[in-house]
Structure 1
């Protein structure tokens, strides 16, 4: 959802409203898409990381029984923004990957049009 919707809407915005050229549109839209992918994925990555770091407490019990339990306990503790604690770092790691994906896809589509595939 964060990948496709943000890219398509950004392409329309940059091309139609700002009148940007093709290269600038692809780079700008892929940057926006990278940001939204990070924003959509980070809560799931946070829960996954918490589950991976689980250790038994003094009584021999785990803090969380499932991924859903981890998410609910985090929310109940009144910390919905805890999911986004390391957003800048995550965004710097994920956004370039997303950007390169869109840039390569755009180039592949150009080649396909050129050779009429």
Structure 2
């Protein structure tokens, strides 16, 4: 099934899209930015820059970090970050439902795969 891509563009920059949402989910699952980046095949630097951009772009941070040490560092989604992610995923689901029939008709217009 084809999934529409929802990208929220407010204030001239991409506030949230599928890549950033996936990164947030991986950080939540992995407990660290570096582990999330590895799981996604992304460089740590790229992941860190995306997290910084998201934290700057919202009125509250989406991700908190702790520096390494004897127990190691880590990262976690804030409650606010979980709410932003939940709302984004809800918008994706609404978009999918709204255009489902149109996608099927559009798919019929494409060339058959060889």
Q: TM-score band, normalised by the shorter chain?
A: 0.3 to 0.5
TM-score in terms of structure 1 length = 0.33
Structure 1 or 2: more strand by fraction: 2
Larger radius of gyration: 1
Structure 1 or 2: more helix by fraction: 1
